[in-house]
Structure 1
């Protein structure tokens, strides 16, 4: 099956027509919301008509993230998944994991679609979390433990290091604990935690965090299952057709290679 063509006239699939499609869980960046991420991703959504994209809200309130005001000032209250600033209220690791997973499961259970959950799409902090959720799924499966998800791939837009520990099997110096401040975490060795489920890494070449995004990819992802796409942009979701075309192509390719019917 060929990938649907990308054009400026391509219109989104009506909501009611996506209910039986494979679903991708979408995780917003820090200091935004599910609705803001949906708006930021509107061009990408238009060109992924074979999927149902479902956007989740992070569990914790915070100030707006960079670039959110004034464009999205009416979308308050703003949210986050993790702590990255000292003013973010302390929380113990187990409670942080519970809050994050509860927010995700609530979103998934309230979605009216009935297609399988096949992938994750995250931007910035949401990309860090998406990779961490995928690794948690992998390590539980490797140990023969119950796994509640069957994500086949993740699309990581501007995700920076480190990986977040979401369970006992990823607790190490290589990962930041879910309740700790992730910004400023230092680990320069070889990580014992390497994700082998396919990931697509999208990096903006003028993004100030580019080095951290590349470090995330190199340290925590198997080179054999990584696809990297770099575009001439800053810290935002691509919207131009020329920038979207290779991303969409790779999403369809990876999904089909993993047995997703699209």
Structure 2
């Protein structure tokens, strides 16, 4: 008998204050279009936290609610980027042979950093044979882009943000889905800077901080993922 066929793996990273099971529901429209072409890998973040924005009351009792990091202060966020947990996630992505990453909200900046580190490990050639595309949906950015919650400049966050950006841009293709009414839209716009100009595409949609529900937009995203991955 011929060996069983396997489909390429896409990694899906949830936002803060949810979990992998909740994200399966939040991303169900996109997932339904992707599943004929890819194996979808949902991972849980490592830390327990309060429910995220918009999670309650619909996902009441669906905890534990999880987060990738404590980014309430630049010092605490720096601990995550400098710690072992992000390294373990990078190693898991490499071992599983992930070809693409879809990250929502905080999952967007985590996905960016995972791919950037993979590319750095692989040298000038980038992540050859590895991650081809990052899709950041309403993504937030390292150190909130150097601003505080009121939108003013924060000196410490600004220094950390510039240090992170100076580490280089992601070479893989990227798609940035930015909600026009998203309270964190400014962060999504700044996350774009962490990706190479030639390979990035920005798509703004009518919506707030959520996965897009419009069928046409989800089909467009799937086409871009398939194109980046060679049609699979």
Q: Equivalent residue for 1:228? A: 202
The question of whether the paired residues in 1 share the 8 Å contact of 2:143 and 2:157 is answered with no
Secondary structure of the corresponding residue to residue 238 of structure 1: coil
2:38 pairs with one of 51, 66, 89: 51
State the TM-score, normalized to the length of structure 1: 0.71
Q: Which moved more, 1:33-42 or 1:93-102?
A: 93-102
The question of whether the paired residues in 2 share the 8 Å contact of 1:155 and 1:199 is answered with yes
1:208 pairs with one of 183, 189, 200: 183
Mapped to 2, the partners of 1:57 and 1:154 lie a distance apart of: 18
Q: Equivalent residue for 1:180? A: none
The question of whether the paired residues in 2 share the 8 Å contact of 1:60 and 1:79 is answered with yes
Q: Equivalent residue for 2:27? A: 41
Alignment of 1:116-155 (within 5 A): 116-142=97-123, 150-155=130-135
1:37 offset after TM fit, Å?
Answer: 0.7
Q: Equivalent residue for 2:153? A: none
The question of whether the paired residues in 2 share the 8 Å contact of 1:128 and 1:163 is answered with no
The question of whether the paired residues in 2 share the 8 Å contact of 1:206 and 1:234 is answered with yes
Q: Equivalent residue for 2:47? A: 60
The question of whether the paired residues in 2 share the 8 Å contact of 1:58 and 1:100 is answered with no
4+ residue segments displaced more than 3 Å: 89-97, 100-109, 187-191
Give the RMSD, CA atoms, in angstroms.
3.6
Secondary structure of the corresponding residue to residue 55 of structure 1: strand
1:155 offset after TM fit, Å?
Answer: 0.9
Q: Equivalent residue for 1:250? A: 224
Mapped to 1, the partners of 2:80 and 2:162 lie a distance apart of: 26
- Summarize deviations over 1:129-157 as a string: whole Å, max 9, x none: 00111111112222799x89921211111
Report whether the alignment pairs 1:73 with 2:60. Answer: yes
1:198 pairs with one of 159, 173, 180: 173
1:102 offset after TM fit, Å?
Answer: 3.7
Alignment gaps of 5+ in structure 2: 147-155
Mapped to 2, the partners of 1:124 and 1:138 lie a distance apart of: 22
Mapped to 2, the partners of 1:94 and 1:62 lie a distance apart of: 15
Secondary structure of the corresponding residue to residue 235 of structure 1: coil
The question of whether the paired residues in 2 share the 8 Å contact of 1:30 and 1:81 is answered with yes
Judging changes above 3 Å, is the alpha-carbon distance between structure 1 residues 149 and 127 closer, same or farther for their aligned structure 2 residues? farther
Secondary structure of the corresponding residue to residue 47 of structure 1: helix
Alignment of 1:82-121 (within 5 A): 82-85=69-72, 93=79, 97-102=83-88, 116-121=97-102
1:234 offset after TM fit, Å?
Answer: 0.7
1:84 offset after TM fit, Å?
Answer: 2.1
Mapped to 2, the partners of 1:91 and 1:232 lie a distance apart of: 30
Mapped to 1, the partners of 2:111 and 2:99 lie a distance apart of: 12
Give 1 or 2: higher helix fraction.
2
Alignment gaps of 5+ in structure 1: 1-17, 165-172, 175-183
